[in-house]
Amino acid sequence: MSQLTAKQARFIEEYVVDFNGTQAAIRAGYSKKCAKSIADHNLSRPEIARAIAKKREELSANAVINRNWVLQGIVDLVEMSKTLQNPAGVGKGLELAMRMIGEGQSTSLKLEGVVAVDSTEKKKRIAELEKKLGIK
């Protein structure tokens, strides 16, 4: 594996900002005239691709707002909606949570026992989701 140049290292740092190769190349100090071809070349190099993947993992691990944080916020809102006896809020919160964890794409999900549920499958998925999220 070859050593990265200073510009390549800077390209990696800039690329993970917006994932725009041309703009990352320009910000890294490459000429505007050849930025697109340089970006294409850099992105095709295995050592640069590995460095970008590593940088993305680092940024993801250090993110203050991540998937778990958003999901926890949704769970908190569902709990608050249950306390306030707001079935629409509970249903919407569960729907959002299900979408985030890949449990379904329904847009008309209702909470069992509060509002009518369309099907047995939805009832089962709601129960499973509530169990996973620890809200029942």
Centroid of chain to Cα 117: 29
Q: What is the pLDDT of residue 33?
A: 96
Backbone angles phi, psi at 99, to 5 degrees: -65, -40
Domain ranges of the chain: 6-62, 67-133
First to last CA, the chain: 53
Tens digits of pLDDT across the chain (136 residues): 479 999 999 999 999 989 999 999 999 999 999 999 999 999 999 999 999 999 998 887 776 666 777 778 888 888 888 888 888 888 888 888 777 776 544 433 333 444 443 456 556 666 666 676 666 5
The radius of gyration computed from the CA coordinates of the chain, to the nearest angstrom, equals 23
What is this structure's pTM?
0.49
Number of H helices, E strands in the chain: 7, 0
Q: What is the fold, at CATH topology level, of the domain defined by 6-62?
A: Arc Repressor Mutant, subunit A (1.10.10)
